Amino acid sequence: MLAADDASSSRGGLLRNLPIARLALYPALAYSFLFFVVPFLVMFCVSFWQRTRGRMEATWVLDNYTRFFSRDYLVDALYNSAEVTVFTTIISVMIAYPLAYILAFRVPQKWQKLILLTTVLPFWTAYVVRSYSWLLVLADNGIINSALVRVGLVAEPLTLAYTRGATVLGFVHFFTMLLTLTIYSSLIQIPRNFKQAASDLGASPLQTFLHVTLPLSVPGVAVGAFLTFVITIGDYITPQILGGNSEVLIPQAIILQVQRSANFPMAAVMSLVLMVLVTCVYLLFNRHLKMDRL
């Protein structure tokens, strides 16, 4: 009887607090509406406008979308961004997964927190500072080229900075740490007895990894890979600092449309195309990799 009374009183308390909980949602909903929904609707409307003689006119035509897909340099910017993002995501996953696996299953538990702390140290450095640090390393008179020339392996400095490789390297340095954290959090949730059961049933270590560990860690990989994709494809700082003017990515193209020609309708079109691409990738990750089960 006492347990039943306690349960009923607990439910009654929850019901009484439910309106308060709903009221707590209103500020978050208002914030999302004002700073996400409204700007998105404004950008959507502006994408159909025309810029003539330095002024924007609400003409509501599809000319901006037609111009975007008919101009090779704008389509190439989107294609370059997709390539850099895919390369960054794949390389980061290939490096981060072994690191997370070793940390979760090979490092003693008492040392894991310390190693995790050292893993997140790059996040404590400003994003711009990290990019400029890599520029100092990769420059013609940087650490790598200076060492190669001094040893005699090369006669002239190699072109390392202001290339796609430098951009990908700067991204990988950051996102490898992020992916290590997400994959590690997924690996440590796998019960130890699963691997023991697979071993008792005759599975080799490789078979155990392929049929037990890897499938159960896919949600962590999916979350980290999706975050890597979203942040990389929309990043402006790293390609601008490390990539220079070797090739234009879609964030740089958007900035050029705003700063040089004040073509806000075209910039809105490019932003919407980028959002559609990110949405498609999200649906792919959510459907096939089941990232919502993490």
Predicted pLDDT of residue 251 = 92
pTM of the model: 0.83
- The overall longest dimension of the chain from CA atoms, in Å, is 88
CATH for 72-293 (1.10.510.10, 3.40.1010.10, 1.10.3720.10, 3.60.21.10): 1.10.3720.10
Q: Give 90-117 pLDDT, tens digit per residue.
A: 999 999 999 999 998 888 888 888 888 8
Residues in the chain: 294
Predicted pLDDT of residue 65 = 92
For residue 294, give the DSSP letter. -
At residue 232, does pLDDT exceed 90? Answer: yes
**Which of 274, 266, 284, 184 is CA-nearest to residue 230?**
274
Exposure letters 148-181 (e unless 16+ CB within 10 A, then b) = bbeeeeeeebeebbbbbbbbbbbbbbbbbbbbbb
Lowest mean pLDDT: which of 38-42, 91-95, 247-251, 280-284?
280-284
For residue 153, give the DSSP letter. S
Helix (H, G, I), strand (E, B) or coil at 260: coil
At residue 89, does pLDDT exceed 70? Answer: yes
For residue 55, give every residue at least 6 positions away whose Cβ sits within 8 Å of its Cβ, in sequence order, or none: none
pLDDT band per the 50, 70, 90 thresholds, residue 270: very high
Give the N- to C-terminal CA distance of the chain in Å, as an integer: 39
How is the chain split into domains, by residue range?
72-293
For residue 216, give every residue at least 6 positions away whose Cβ sits within 8 Å of its Cβ, in sequence order, or none: 186, 189, 190, 194
Task: For residues 206 and 204, give the distance between their C-alpha atoms in angstroms, rounded to a whole number.
Answer: 5
Tokens 């072994």 — which residue? 98
Predicted pLDDT of residue 291 = 43
Q: Give 4-33 pLDDT, tens digit per residue.
A: 444 455 555 545 555 766 777 788 888 889
Predicted pLDDT of residue 2 = 40
Predicted pLDDT of residue 27 = 84
Predicted pLDDT of residue 16 = 56
Q: Give 271-294 pLDDT, tens digit per residue.
A: 999 999 999 888 887 765 554 444
Q: Give 44-67 pLDDT, tens digit per residue.
A: 999 999 887 767 777 888 888 999
Helix (H, G, I), strand (E, B) or coil at 190: coil
